Chain A
Amino acid sequence: MARAKKAADGPTALRVVGKALRKVDATAKVLGVTKFADDLSLPRMLYCKLLRSPHPHARIVRIDATRALALPGVKAVLTGKDLPIPFGILPVSQDEHALALDKARFVGDPVAGVAAVSEEVATAALDLIAVEYEPLRPIKDHLDAVEHPEPRIHDYGDHGNLHKLINLEFGDVEAGFAAADVVREDLLFFEGNTHLPMEQHAALADWSPDGKLTLWSSTQTPHYVHRALAKVLELAPARVRVIATTNGGAFGGKSDPFSHEIVVAKLAMLTGRPVKITLTREEVFYCHRGRHPTLMWVKTGVKQDGAITAMHFKSLLDGGGYGSYGVASTYYTGALQTVTHHVPRYKFQGARAFTNKPPCGPKRGHGTPQPRFALEVHFDKIAEQLGIDPADFRLKHLVPPHSLTANWLRVGSMGLAECIRKVVAGSGWNEKYRKLPYGRGVGLACSSYITGAGLPIYWNAMPHSGVQLKCDRGGGVTVFCGSTEIGQGSDSVLAIIVAEVLGLDPFDIAVVSADTDLTPVDLGSYSSRVTLMTGNAAIQAAERARDLIARHAAPKLEAPVERITFAGRRVFDAASPERGISFAEAVQLAEAAAGTVGTVGSYTPAAGAGKYRGAGVGPSPAYSYSACVALVDVDPATGIVQVPKIWIAHDVGRSINAAAVMGQIEGSIYMGLGEALMEEMAYRGNRNVVHKIPSLLEYKSPTTLEMCDVVTYVVEDPDPNGPFGAKECGQGPLLPVPPAVANAVYDAVGVRIDEVPITPEKVFKALRRKEKGEEPRFGPLGFPDLPWPEPIRVAPPWEGGDGRAVEGGKGREKAVEVTAGRRR
């Protein structure tokens, strides 16, 4: 960490970092030259189509592909028994098969795969595959799953159709509630929604006669796909190469290993010909892995001055048909409640249900936008009850920087106060809140997000990110890194950081990323981890190259090595800058003296402070902070909500590329606005649980006409763990948007919409209730009783704990201790 601290100490010297630069790959994208996975084509290539289940829940009795195989042009047909080894992104939920083995678990679950000479022939072949199903009662949502433990969708899980049950308690919350002046309970619901990347998933597999498999795929996580392919295909990892093509948007929806990737790989192996698949938009809806629909109950005790005495939070997630990242998602719905405002005692109970719908997983903000929505609406109500302005309420009792939370998260730099002040001043909050005419209102919300998960997906002690650097005698520098460019600008971050350290132009740096044969492992573009983790790895590799080159340039420049400086593509004596040589000459000196100039760097986050079971979700090297004010117009006659403007302030630690930071923040606002107002994964529970609207036309996402004006304030409070102090900005700014809009609707027309999306129908109904003198609210009415396990009890840091679960628990807790002990 000393390395990052050093870099963060010298802001005045930065030449490239922090400027607003074009992304290094932008021109090719804008001109349409960038090759995405579907643009790839190889000689003799076959096309793959997947047959998908028309039943939400059914046993597969028999599959007969004889007629399909007889169709001219069909080269191979695969079914579940050809790929019997299960996989899944998390080691604890290896519950997927590339093709359904004995059971289909949602409408759209892949059942068979065809390789044929054209897409048309492959499509025609699907109709010739006869599948006999024995339908089972479908489980249509989380409440149905609670009521119907049978038939079980999976034969594993914590209880019936409840996949996961979590019960964590940090201190005695009941005592905390007893000490409060006001205790408030609220129920909220966050509907599921999907990523909607413009690029539909595509993959191309090639099997070489030398026994090596190459897969090009639009994936965010080539390393995890590499592992899944090796496992399911029973190939040595050394014989599998995964190349992540530039993603045309991902947002978390391309971070699982997918059926179609494994199927094209197997088909390529069987036919000896390259095989490609490009999913239809409808199939992208079936891949899903998007936002979990989440029912939430929250109870908080506060003192008159707004100080929280205790909080109890319950969540119930509708997980869909498979595990995916769901266990982590469930923990995330309870992890970050504690990092904005001081919560001295905290209890979290979380549950995830299996249902017969496409699996939910990580979408931008992974498991945290739902509880953040609940929390910020809840806080708005508490502030009103206490008679405190919501902005003042949020400025009080903030988590101090460089401190531990009740659930043992280690907060570093913390710029939330500055964020709140920026949006309050910028939006004219004090002149608007409670002062605008009926129908117009403002709402405020805050949030925080992790900058990279503290633990990898699978337990290992190796770095999370690795970088190799090659310095060419011509002066060229190539950065090799496993990180994946998904449009967020990760290739640019690598180029900028290396250019900063070596005094070069970022556009001169060659970036080779996301190729498991060529690049060292980076875990992938998820959890907002890339800038911090690959950034730190890149700094280490570049500083090692700099030191090596400086050592061999110093004698030539007749200057002590400490004075050797790199800037403007030159290497020179800081004391007399005219005394210098070109960077290329300096590399040549080093190469002549020490051989090929190559260095490596890597990054491993520090261990988390919590040692209890479940402590793996939540810790991060750094937390970003955001505050947001939304201005809304509500038409009382229709309930239609429009959002003309949003002010957002985001504590990014330090911008690496100021233009990309603005882009990520604005993009987050856009996505958050869609979730706030209209996006929802709607199903017809009474009609075979089909997805109601699997199309770009009918799945409503805002157009440019619905997008609001955005005023962005970038707050830079450098974090000691970040490269040059940088924290994340790609996910966090989404979080405050839905609650800010909900709070603004209340300011505008006096009704509480405790559920997103905030559709006209809901606002209209709430306004009708208000007219009739009923509770002016639309939202859930109850939280079901669940068979919670005994809580894992952990004392908060200020109550003398050491981050471990207390001794003397029952069976489950003993297991917890064993797990924690093994890990640490």
Chain B
Amino acid sequence: MLRLPSFKYLQPRTLQEAVAMKADAGPEGMYVAGGTDLYPNMKRRHQEPRTVISLMGIAELRRSDSGIVGRSNGGLVFGPCLTLTELSDSPTVRRSYSVLTHAAELVSTPLLRNMGTLGGNLCLDTRCNYYDQTYEWRKAIDFCMKKDGHICWVAPSSPRCWAVSSSDVAPVAVAIGAEFLLVGPQGERVVPAGRFYHNDGINYLTKQPDEILVEVRLPAPDGWDAVYHKLRRRGSFDFPVLGVAAWVKWEPGNGNRETGRVAEARIVLGGVASWPQEIPEAAAALRGCELGDDAIARAAAAAYRPAKPLDNTDFDLSWRKQMTRVHVTRALEELRGRR
């Protein structure tokens, strides 16, 4: 069998305790929540922590079964250690943030959603089929720069790693403008989801290794709508080879009615870069327009151009690029249909 290496497992009860344990463990310490990402990676020797510090026993990261910590500015605040199943089972979330429920429901399988957490999916290690392999396999290709090697096999002349952001929840968080509260040895800070990620397969988070994601804050559900479309081989298990999160804020009209025109929009693609890739050109194509076929086609064409899938996930890359247009179109058509 493929075995986990030996490691020390710690269960802090408070944030302060967790931060102190990490400081003691140094670079060989890692936090873990549900473990559905970290443990398989440890089996393949991607991450080799000597000390693993579980966040699941820290009450303020879970707070209640629904995971909802509270409200701020009319939005919701979550503890990041609620499981994806708990998130998608929450009626409050489903009522006001159906896009998040939907994205959470599309992650992997029911069994893994029972273990995997919201925070874990937001911090998911970038993926690449040159990297997500056992030590022995990677040895056969002489390793890659993301672990143990010096080259990116997807783009051998590239100075950077092209592993792919494969989270379903992250593009949604960026699209709807979520914010994250981080706590570390230096204190706390709030980071917008759009600035939580780097477009780099190795250094893909702006979060420092000793910082803990403590809160996920969602904006008030006032006059915007969003959808998420996921492309993958099968209806379960698979990571996205393309995720499309589409968010629009409708122009306010008279009374409670909206005009039907788009005031603001954000289109964020998952699975095509090392971060959730925001496509401002696609958003610009929609601004001030009704979501007519022409505007949708312009936005889809704008999203197609910068999407640069590489040969490191399932499916061939030219098809995946073609699919950007199709799925951005379908996401926007769904948004139009929901009005």
Contacts and interface: CB of A to CB of B under 8 A. Distances in A.
Interface of A: 38, 52, 54-55, 107, 119-120, 123, 126, 200, 278, 280-282, 637-639, 678, 684, 687-688, 690-695, 697-698, 700, 702-706, 759-761, 764
Contacts of B133: 694-695
B129 A698 contact: yes
B150 interface: no
Interface of B: 1-3, 5-6, 129, 132-134, 136-137, 139-141, 153, 233-238, 314-316, 318-319, 322-323, 326
B140 A702 contact: no
Contact of B137 (A38, A123, A690, A705): A690
A692 B2 CA distance: 18
Contact of B236 (A107, A690, A693, A705): A705
A278 B1 contact: yes
A282 B136 CA distance: 10
Contacts of A107: 137, 140
Contact of B1 (A119, A126, A678): A119
A694 B235 contact: no
B45 to A, nearest CB: 10
Contact of A280 (B2, B233, B238, B323): B2
A703 B235 contact: yes
Contacts of A637: 326
Nearest to B327: A638
A396 B156 CA distance: 58
Contacts of B137: 107, 282, 690-691, 694
Contacts of A702: 234
A678 B238 CA distance: 13
B235 A687 contact: no
B248 to A, nearest CB: 22
B140 A688 contact: yes
B316 A761 contact: yes
Contacts, number: 75
14 contacts: A54-B139, A55-B140, A119-B1, A120-B5, A123-B3, A278-B1, A639-B319, A691-B137, A693-B129, A697-B237, A700-B234, A703-B236, A761-B319, A764-B322
Contacts of A278: 1
A700 B233 contact: yes
Output the residue of B1, B6, B139 with the most chain A CB within 10 A. Answer: B1
B235 A690 contact: no
Contacts of A126: 136
A764 B319 contact: yes
A120 B137 CA distance: 18
A761 B153 contact: no
Contacts of B238: 697, 700
A700 B136 contact: no
Contacts of A687: 141, 153
A280 B1 contact: yes
Given A700-B314, A760-B315, A282 B2 contact: yes
Those 10 A-B pairs whose CB atoms lie nearest each other, nearest first? A705-B235, A54-B140, A761-B319, A280-B2, A703-B236, A107-B140, A700-B233, A761-B316, A54-B139, A637-B326
Nearest to B134: A282
Please indicate which of the listed interface residues B2, B141, B237, B323 has the most CB atoms of chain A within 10 Å of its own CB. Answer: B2
B3 A119 contact: yes
A120 B7 CA distance: 12
Contact of B3 (A52, A120, A693, A705): A120
B319 A760 contact: yes
B147 to A, nearest CB: 15
Contact of A54 (B2, B136, B314, B315): B136
A695 B322 CA distance: 27
A423 to B, nearest CB: 27
A703 B237 contact: yes
Contacts of A54: 136, 139-140
Residue in B136, B153, B238 with the greatest tally of chain A CB atoms within 10 Å: B136
Contacts of B314: 698, 700
A706 B234 contact: yes
